[in-house]
Structure 1
Amino acid sequence: MTQASVTETTTIRGLKHPVSRIALGTWAIGGWMWGGPDDRNAIATIQEAVDLGITLVDTAPVYGFGHSEEIVGQALAGRRDKVAIATKVGLDWKDDHKPFRNTSPARIRKEIEDSLRRLRTDYIDLYQVHWSDSAVPMDETARTLEDLVKEGKVLALGVSNFTIAEMDAFRAVAPLAAVQPPYNLFERGMEHDILPYARQHDLTILAYGPLCRGLLSGKMTAQTKFGPDDLRSADPKFQPPRFAQYLEAVRQLQDFAREKHDKSLLALAIRWVLDQGPTIALWGARRPDQIAAVADAIGWHLSADDLREIDTILKTCIKDPVGPEFMAPPGR
């Protein structure tokens, strides 16, 4: 029995089995906006995650323009029955590889077949609309996705980066089981609306970016640089003067995690997300060693006093906070 086989679990309505509350996120594995792919390490990372007790893998067609899904499919060959696969739909791209929103029925029908082929499976456990598309009526999108459920190609439906109004419109037509917003110690906008809505309507939250694109790993310094093909080169958090503010918060949070709980900052960041509600934390990794610490976030909790002290650190250090809005792809 591996150390992480005690991973906490939760349920997503419509799925066959409970899933681990820490899931593997595979955006970086696709390579695009993360410095290129590393397939050998990517496959080893996915397989190590499964061995450690992670039973939910989240991917998307746009992650490497199909490459992440292909790698997930390769890595899970012979292990499909052990893992729930979550992927997405609704981002299109042309030859210039600049994604744009497209949730038309025709696009959804094409994407589901492409995803099933790349993932080497005959069904998707959780199929999520990646971003809403104002050019397509929500009822058309939702009805097409519900048809996929009726056809057995999808078990449950989710949405990502949706507003409350958009979720209401979707739920008026098709059942919704999960929502995927950005959420971490530094990006907490969803606490005002998405979190209470999820609690009210029994939606599981898949929190993406719980380590804030590596910032909460504790491994960055003022000298850390990012290449032009790295997402973080366009992220305002990683530019002066904000970068210094966030790094100071990281330093103080590291001290807090070590002194109060004998834990790493990484474990603290994941535990914080798990303690906020009906949440699953999407742990992004590109190498097996980056997934090894998964067990450190399991089996303990933050107290109310801990949460207040963490909030004080954030308010004291970060004078000019900014959210993840820069990541939003354009409409059509």
Structure 2
Amino acid sequence: METLDLNNKELITSRIGLGTWAIGGWMWGGTDEAESIRTIQSAPDHGVTLIDTAPVYGFGRSEEIVGKAVKQGGMRDQVALATKCALEWDSKERVARNATRQRILKEADDSLKRLQTDVIDLLQVHWPDPNVDVRETAEAMARLKDDGKIRAIGVSNFTPAQMDAFSEVATIDVAQNPYNLFERQIDDDVFPWIREHDTRLLAYGALCRGLLSGRMHANREFPGDDLRNNDPKFQQPRFDQYLAAVNELQQFAQEHYGKNVLDLAIRWVLDQYPHGVALWGARKPDQLDAVDDVWGWQLDDAAREQIKQIVDKHVVDPVGPEFMAPPARK
């Protein structure tokens, strides 16, 4: 297991974190609490010691399940709990950004209760709020850290300019952004910033909503409110482009490493940046079995260039993760 420190001090975690958006059920076709608890409790068995959640994942449901699993399993000293703030929702499950001081302080207290803990290891601003001065947001986060309610501060989906402004008030320990073989937009802006500031990266969507799992096929259907029904990558003709890339990446992984495309996708994220964590979404225990195949090997520069060429050859009409961005408040 590879580890890193999230805030240059004492917060050591695994370089793979368990992502729990799907565990909350919202936009993933519901949830099975008992199975979700077993999944969370099995994570340390694979060396996964970071659990990433958010209030908006199931409107508190994901945090509640994480808190229950950690409490019942006696796991609090084995895992780092990361959650988020600065989104709000109404009774119709309409989500909007709210990074005001009042909202952030309230959300932190609510998250502490749902997670059944007295301190959050990493609290992240989920999305920047164009209606709020980023310095106000940073001040609220700094207060939470000074009060001992959080150990580390993170921002998610921020631009370098927004991180510059935030850093005038509070140190950013972690930046969380979408990053995977098919979504590499941060290479040109966020990556230079985090390297310059020695900031840790939490790469969410490392398997691109399951597209890089190797289990997708052209006739795959997604039930209920599954967000992939609105993801342009899963719509034709783009879907076939991405599936063709996955097929060749599978062949490449097998021929060169005796691995699967899923292993290759996670290894690629880790080898892009030595201070990065790949978030691995799972809601069934067996979905974590493949974690064991990620360790003990690496991709060199030549391999990563070949991988890039494979993706670029097949995906001629690429699209990013912009569809997931929540709106600002009216």
Alignment TM class, shorter chain as reference: over 0.9
User: Structure 2 matches for 1:28-177, cutoff 5 A?
Assistant: 28-77=22-71, 78-177=74-173
Unaligned runs of 5+ in 2: none
Structure 1 residues 86-116: Cα deviation after superposition (integer angstroms, max 9, x where no partner): 1000000010111100011111121011100
Distance in 2 between the 1:313 and 1:211 partners? 17
1:266-313 deviation line (CA, Å, top 9, x unaligned): 110000000001210000001000001101111110122211211111
CA distance in 2, matches of 1:202, 1:308: 24
Distance in 2 between residues matched to 1:305 and 1:177, nearest whole Å: 31
2:322 corresponding residue in structure 1: 325
Percent identity, aligned pairs only, is 57
1:12 aligned partner, one-letter code: L
Q: Which residue of 2 aligns with 1:302?
A: 299
Partner of 1:3: none
Q: Do the aligned partners of 1:15 and 1:125 also contact (CA within 8 Å) in 2?
A: no
Distance 2:149 2:170 in 1: 15
Spell out, residue by residue over 1:38-64, the C-alpha distance to the aligned partner (whole angstroms, 9 max, x if none).
111110001111222111110000000
1:261 and 2:257 matched: yes
CA displacement 1:226-285 (0-9 Å, x = unmatched): 124000000000001000000000000001011110001111000000000121000000
Structure 2 partner of 1:220: 216
**Which position in structure 2 is the counterpart of 1:242?**
238
What amino acid is aligned across from residue 226 of structure 1 in structure 2? Answer: F
| Partner residue, 1:208 | 204
- How much does 1:14 deviate? 5.8
* Distance in 1 (alpha carbons) for counterparts of 2:230 and 2:43: 29
Comparing 104-113 and 60-69, the one that deviates more: 104-113
Q: CA separation in 2, counterparts of 1:245 and 1:139? A: 42
Q: Does 1:17 align with 2:14?
A: no
Corresponding residue pairs, total: 326
Q: Aligned residue for 1:286?
A: 283
1:4 counterpart residue number: none
Is the CA contact (8 Å cut-off) linking 1:14 and 1:155 kept in structure 2?
no
SS at match of 2:223: coil
RMSD: 0.9
8 Å contact from structure 1 (residues 15, 156) kept in 2: no
Amino acid at match of 2:18: L
| Map of 2:2 onto structure 1 | 8
* 8 A Cα contact 1:88 1:129, kept in partner: yes
1:231 aligns to what? 227
Indicate the SS of the match to 2:272: coil
Q: Note the C-alpha offset of 1:15.
A: 5.5
Q: Would you say the 8 A contact 1:15–1:155 is kept in 2? A: no
Offset, 1:16? 2.8
Paired residue secondary structure (1:126): strand
Paired AA for residue 305 in structure 2: R
1:269 is aligned with what amino acid?
Answer: A
What is the CA-CA distance between 1:327 and the residue it aligns to? 0.4
Q: d(CA) in 1 for partners of 2:9 and 2:175? A: 15
Amino acid at match of 1:229: D
**Partners of 2:306 and 2:297 in 1: CA distance:** 17
Inter-partner Cα distance in structure 1 for 2:279 and 2:179:
10
Q: Which amino acid aligns with 2:204?
A: Y
Cα distance in 2 between the residues matched to 1:157 and 1:45: 26
Q: Structure 2 matches for 1:169-188, cutoff 5 A?
A: 169-188=165-184
Unaligned 5+ residue runs, structure 1? Answer: 1-6
1:25–1:59 CA contact under 8 A, matched in 2: yes
Following the alignment from structure 2 to structure 1, what is the Cα–Cα distance between the partners of residues 117 and 124?
A: 17
* Secondary structure at 2:209 match in 1: coil
